[in-house]
Structure 1
Amino acid sequence: MKLLRLVLLAGGLALVAFGVSGWVEAPVAELWGRLAFAAAVLVAHDFVVVPLVLLTGTLVARFVAAPARAPVRVALVVAAAVSAVALPFVIGAGRIADNPSAFPQHYGRNLLLILAVIAATAGAWTAAGWLRRQRRRR
């Protein structure tokens, strides 16, 4: 386990170094825009994302049965991440009217399919846990 943590730490530090090198090599004119973007992301994370995650976790703890809490929480986090990435494609941000090949897929339908797979996986995880508990009781 210690080796895995060291490997993950080294990979993370390599990614941070790559990101910092991109900032260092960028033209000075772009620096203020990048700093403003970084500040906006930090504010959005701390004042929007974290409170929503905490509120959702509290609601799950209150209204979801104990055996299903972990699968539901994981499914909600994964679904939120997938939805955040897919949202620009679903709403067609950047779509050009005279270029139909720019967004060739049915992104809304595909997002719903992916969310259904996430929900089914959480359901299977919950069912597997329930079956395991039933076998222990026998």
Structure 2
Amino acid sequence: MRALLALAGLALVGYGAYGWLDAPGHELTGRLIFAAAALAVHDFLVVPLVLGAGALAIRYVPPVARRPVQAALVVSAALTAVAFPFVIGVGRIADNPSAFPQHYGRGLLVLLAAVWLVAAAWTALRARRARRRS
């Protein structure tokens, strides 16, 4: 199964590489610059933040709450990464208010609150089960 998944992944990478290399010359340069910037942001910003958050969670979060907190951190990061361009209004046109008709900052805060409420309930359930066992 692992070999089949690896082959499928390699096939998708090959298809993507073909699509990139098949682009006109001016687009290829822009795509390569974008890929280099994304790689730099990932390696020098995202990875240190994730490792730092994980180290802090291991050090300061009680064992009963570690998994819920780690899961909430991952989901919060993913939600924020997807919502961030909408929150700051990337591509907003001043004379077209219908392009971004929602209050995306408020929506992100509501979703983050829901994620952390679920994490708190999960932690409470884990603590309750741990007390019953002991």
TM interval, shorter chain, is 0.7 to 0.9
1:65 aligns with 2:51: no
TM, length-normalised to structure 1:
0.85
Question: For 1:23, what is the secondary structure of its paired residue?
Answer: helix
Structure 2: gaps of 5 or more residues: none
Q: CA deviation at 1:110?
A: 0.6
Number of aligned positions between the proteins:
134
**1:132 alignment partner AA:** R
User: Over residues 59-101 of structure 1, what are the superposed CA-to-partner deviations in whole Å (9 max), with x where a residue is unaligned?
Assistant: 1111111111111112112111211111111111211111111
4+ residue segments displaced more than 6 Å: none
Q: CA deviation at 1:107?
A: 0.6
Separation in 2, partners of 1:82, 1:106: 15
What is aligned with 1:124?
121
What is aligned with 2:84?
87
Q: CA deviation at 1:6?
A: 6.1
Deviates more, 1:12-21 or 1:50-59: 12-21
What is aligned with 1:114?
111
Measured on the aligned residues, the alpha-carbon RMSD in Å equals 1.9
Question: For 2:97, what is the secondary structure of its paired residue?
Answer: coil
Asked whether the equivalents of residues 72 and 115 of structure 2 are also in contact (C-alpha less than 8 Å), the reply is yes
TM, length-normalised to structure 2:
0.87
In 2 relative to 1, CA 23–110 (structure 1 residues): closer, same or farther, beyond 3 Å?
same
Separation in 2, partners of 1:109, 1:60: 26
Separation in 2, partners of 1:119, 1:58: 19
Identity across aligned pairs (percent)? 60
**1:121 alignment partner AA:** V
Among 75, 79, 84, the alignment partner of 1:78 is 75
Separation in 2, partners of 1:57, 1:65: 13
**1:97 alignment partner AA:** A
Q: CA deviation at 1:25?
A: 2.3
Among 17, 21, 43, the alignment partner of 2:18 is 21
**1:86 alignment partner AA:** A
Separation in 1, partners of 2:48, 2:14: 30
Among 25, 41, 44, the alignment partner of 2:41 is 44
Separation in 1, partners of 2:28, 2:68: 41
Separation in 1, partners of 2:11, 2:107: 33
Asked whether the equivalents of residues 21 and 28 of structure 2 are also in contact (C-alpha less than 8 Å), the reply is no
Separation in 1, partners of 2:116, 2:5: 29
